[in-house]
Amino acid sequence: MEEEKIELPEINYSDDDIKTLDWQEHIRRRPGMYIGKLGDGSSADDGIYVLLKEVLDNSIDEYMMGFGKTIEVTIEEGAVRVRDHGRGVPLGKVKDVSSKMNTGAKYDSKAFKKSVGLNGVGIKAVNALSSMFMMQSFRDGQTTSVEYSKALVTKENAIESTTEDNGTLIEFIPDNTIFTNYNFRDDYVESLLKNYVFLNTGLTIIYNGKKFFSKNGLVDLLNENMTSDPLYPIIHLKDTDIEVVITHTDQYGEEYYSFVNGQHTTQGGTHQSAFRESLSRVIKEYYNKNFDYADIRSGIVAAISVKVEEPVFESQTKTKLGSKDMGPGGPSVQKFIGDFLKKELDNFLHKNTETSEALLKKILESEKERKAIAGVTKLARERAKKANLHNKKLRDCRIHYNDNKGDNLDETSIFITEGDSASGSITKSRNPNLQAVFSLRGKPLNSFGLTKKIVYENEEFNLLQAALNIEDGIDGLRYNKIIIATDADTDGMHIRLLILTFFLQFFPDLIKKNHVYILQTPLFRVRNKKETFYCYTEEERIAAIKKLGANPEITRFKGLGEISPDEFVHFIGKDMRLDKVSMKKEDLVGNMLNFYMGKNTPERQEFIIDNLVIEED
């Protein structure tokens, strides 16, 4: 049989197909290469905060060199203003520094060898992604400035006299054609600024008139972020190029805050891994007992800050350190941190016996609980693994948050629903690439006051834990957003609280790391033959009735199961409304659980409203 010939269309490949983009055009076409994801400001890692950080990093570098103890930050209606009091950019180089790629003072200067921004790109990315950008330098009684729009010069000002202090002023407005409907959130900005002052004791940052200052460095950081009482006073160790703080709480899991050259490495990296391992080894050797590392680290809350020469990060946004060495010719990151802890932590434990006794008590308690559940753990794992192969409770998606690569990992989510009809509607409406569905059977168990053994003995919790892949901590979490989708009635609220209790009791990091959300669904449908409005509040319902005029059809949704798949697609798509579950720093997990899941039922609702912050995303 003669093979059929397939004619392919002719594809021309000539000189005309080779294009060289100007640097600003390349940044604007591929912003993700420079600042990570874009976003609208509703997430802490959205691009507008990266722009702010890139500007601040230069001011922080000046402070680290001993110039300028105050930085003023103002954000009004999306416009950002950052004024430092460092040395100021050399006046003849203001234009080059702000508009020529790979131009900066940090390439050969030993003064900047442990700086945050080393590639000469950051400030140019801010310029290219802003509809207005201005850099002004004040230096030795003179000043000059350059103004841009999308990195194209709109105005150059001549050098003139000034009475202002030395320093640099940068103003920019993110381009709203790239950052659509963006909005800076004060809590995210303030969290960023707090980290800067925690890592630079003596630095003052003033944000919209509010002052941020830290006297005790990383100790202040831990006190700011802990939501359980420490079991012993915070251990604070410090030396050239390294600072660590360590304590334990009664919480499950491990909680780390890691930094490199002042950069918050939210995804950890070589320094955090070395810290976890070295800390465990030093403590094990100190007690001279064959402790399991998991028992040593259970309930730990710690932070580490290191200064690395010419650090290598795994992405442009510098959220994960990739450097194996402390710098050219220097020791490995592992050896540097290990040697420091072997000397300083071991000495501290020998000198502070009350702390070492409290730590030993915590380790022994963790060991006792782990051994108590060892018998059920293996069986439960096997049961969950077998169930997941044919798990009708989980309708999984194709892309997962902990995949090694992918452009949409932050969009991965899992809906936790109750009831076949609700889970069925969401399953038929979802995006099967990015959205999974987990169906609960009735009300979950109230896990308040129970040990982790219950997670393995209770089928619902065991399967949910397995679906999320969080048994050994949230590093393996398969979905960025865990979305609780229950009815907006009393039973739905109770189920929601039971799920939140489970997370707070055993996996508080899920909430602290902003992974848990509540799905908003409409209460009413108001429509006529031409238009349909879905209303989430009574006010929206009244407004829809007024807009549609006389006699519209009004439907009150009593439960998620009443919403058809064709309609549900509107509520879990691009414009999905989510309330983020977060915790205020003054909240203590134990107290919170005791109040709203303990025996004081009448006080429950009031306490939740006052203490568990649910924010519209």
Q: What is the CATH number of the domain that holds 515?
A: 3.40.50.670
Rounded Cα distance between 50 and 264, Å, is: 12
pLDDT band at 296 (very low <50, low <70, confident <90, very high): very high
pLDDT band at 12 (very low <50, low <70, confident <90, very high): low
| Phi, psi values for residue 493, rounded to 5° | -65, -40
Mean pLDDT of 433-440: 91
**DSSP letters along 250-275, please?**
SSSS-EEEEEETTEE-TT-BHHHHHH
Residue 586 belongs to some domain of the structure: yes
Which residue in the block uniquely carries the two structure tokens 């809350």? 301
* Both tokens assigned to 48: 């507008």
pLDDT band at 107 (very low <50, low <70, confident <90, very high): very low
- pLDDT score for 344: 96
- pLDDT score for 512: 84
- pLDDT score for 424: 84
pLDDT tens per residue across span 169-186 = 999 999 998 888 899 999
pLDDT exceeds cutoff 80 at 324: yes
Residue where a domain stops, chosen among 151, 183, 213: 213
pLDDT exceeds cutoff 80 at 436: yes
Antiparallel, parallel or unpaired: β 70-76 and 210-213: unpaired
pLDDT band at 314 (very low <50, low <70, confident <90, very high): confident
Specify whether 197 is located in the same domain as 224: no
Specify whether 245 is located in the same domain as 285: yes
Mean pLDDT of 541-568: 87
Residue 377 belongs to some domain of the structure: no
**Phi-psi region at 108: left, alpha or beta (left = phi > 0; alpha = psi -120 to 50):** alpha
pLDDT exceeds cutoff 70 at 383: no
Rounded Cα distance between 502 and 471, Å, is: 13
| Phi, psi values for residue 513, rounded to 5° | -95, 15
**DSSP letters along 506-568, please?**
H-THHHHTT-EEEE---SEEEE-SS-EEEESSHHHHHHHHHHH-SS-EEEE--SGGGS-HHHH
Residue where a domain stops, chosen among 213, 241, 271: 213
Mean pLDDT of 475-492: 86
* Both tokens assigned to 28: 């604007």
Specify whether 165 is located in the same domain as 292: no
Q: Is residue 32 classed as helix, strand or coil in its secondary structure?
A: helix
Specify whether 113 is located in the same domain as 159: yes
* Both tokens assigned to 463: 């399967």
pLDDT tens per residue across span 325-342 = 888 888 999 999 999 999
Residue 405 belongs to some domain of the structure: yes
Contact 565, 425 (CB under 8 A): yes
User: DSSP E strands: which ranges in 30-151?
Assistant: 70-76, 79-84, 130-139, 142-149
Specify whether 400 is located in the same domain as 516: yes
- pLDDT score for 108: 46
DSSP 208: T
Q: Choose between 141 and 4: higher pLDDT.
A: 141
**DSSP letters along 385-401, please?**
HHHHHT-SSEE--S--T
Rounded Cα distance between 515 and 501, Å, is: 15
- pLDDT score for 183: 92
Specify whether 448 is located in the same domain as 596: yes
Helical pair 186-199 and 47-64, crossing angle rounded to 10 deg: 20
pLDDT exceeds cutoff 70 at 593: no
Residue where a domain stops, chosen among 153, 181, 213: 213
pLDDT exceeds cutoff 80 at 35: no
Specify whether 442 is located in the same domain as 508: yes
Q: Which residues of 373-408 are buried (b: 16+ CB within 10 A; e: fewer)?
A: beebbeebeebbeebeeebebbbbbebbbeeeeeee
- Among 22-26, 151-155, 156-160, 570-574, the least confident range: 22-26
pLDDT band at 580 (very low <50, low <70, confident <90, very high): confident
pLDDT exceeds cutoff 50 at 1: no
- pLDDT score for 136: 95
pLDDT exceeds cutoff 90 at 161: yes
What percent of the chain is predicted at pLDDT more than 90?
A: 41
pLDDT exceeds cutoff 60 at 56: yes
- pLDDT score for 316: 59
Mean pLDDT of 189-218: 94
Specify whether 348 is located in the same domain as 416: no
Q: Choose between 218 and 612: higher pLDDT.
A: 218
Rounded Cα distance between 523 and 435, Å, is: 23
Specify whether 78 is located in the same domain as 116: yes
Q: Choose between 453 and 376: higher pLDDT.
A: 453
Residue 331 belongs to some domain of the structure: yes
Mean pLDDT of 379-408: 70
Residue 380: HSE in the Cβ half-sphere, 13 Å Cα cutoff = 21
pLDDT exceeds cutoff 60 at 69: yes
Helical pair 589-597 and 601-611, crossing angle rounded to 10 deg: 140
Residue 51 belongs to some domain of the structure: yes
Give the residue ranges of DSSP H helices in 200-266.
218-225
pLDDT band at 609 (very low <50, low <70, confident <90, very high): very low
- pLDDT score for 407: 61
pLDDT tens per residue across span 339-349 = 999 999 999 99
Cβ burial of 560 (10 Å; 0-12, 13-18, 19+) is buried
Contact 607, 592 (CB under 8 A): yes
Average pLDDT score, the chain: 84
Specify whether 463 is located in the same domain as 569: yes
Residue 543 belongs to some domain of the structure: no
CATH number of the domain encompassing residue 82: 3.30.565.10
Which residue in the block uniquely carries the two structure tokens 């006051």? 449
Cβ burial of 617 (10 Å; 0-12, 13-18, 19+) is middle
- Domain count along the chain: 3
* Both tokens assigned to 512: 């602290």
DSSP 110: G
**DSSP letters along 407-441, please?**
S-GGG-EEEEEESHHHHHHHHHHS-TTTEEEEEE-
Sequence-distant (≥ 6) Cβ neighbours of residue 601 within 8 angstroms: none
Rounded Cα distance between 90 and 103, Å, is: 13
Q: Which residues of 466-502 are buried (b: 16+ CB within 10 A; e: fewer)?
A: bbbbbbebbeebbbbbbbbbbbbeeebeebbbbbbbb
Contact 583, 512 (CB under 8 A): yes
Rounded Cα distance between 346 and 154, Å, is: 60
Residue 30: CB atoms within 10 A of its CB come to: 10
Helical pair 589-597 and 490-506, crossing angle rounded to 10 deg: 150
What percent of the chain is predicted at pLDDT more than 70?
A: 83
Rounded Cα distance between 200 and 61, Å, is: 10
pLDDT tens per residue across span 404-418 = 665 677 789 999 998
Sequence-distant (≥ 6) Cβ neighbours of residue 371 within 8 angstroms: none
Residue 456 belongs to some domain of the structure: yes
Contact 554, 565 (CB under 8 A): no
Rounded Cα distance between 173 and 154, Å, is: 15
Residue 384 belongs to some domain of the structure: no
Domain boundaries, position 190: 23-213
Specify whether 236 is located in the same domain as 254: yes
* Both tokens assigned to 355: 């702390």
Rounded Cα distance between 343 and 373, Å, is: 35
* Both tokens assigned to 446: 């109230």
Q: In DSSP terms, which residues pair with 205 in a beta bridge?
A: 71, 212
pLDDT exceeds cutoff 60 at 5: no
- Among 17-21, 112-116, 225-229, 427-431, the least confident range: 17-21
pLDDT exceeds cutoff 80 at 106: no
- pLDDT score for 215: 93
- pLDDT score for 335: 94
Mean pLDDT of 146-171: 93
Mean pLDDT of 478-505: 87
3-state helix, strand, coil in the chain (%, to 5): 40, 20, 40
- Among 30-44, 502-516, 544-558, the least confident range: 30-44
* Both tokens assigned to 317: 């946004």
Specify whether 346 is located in the same domain as 399: no
Q: Is residue 144 classed as helix, strand or coil in its secondary structure?
A: strand
Contact 221, 238 (CB under 8 A): no
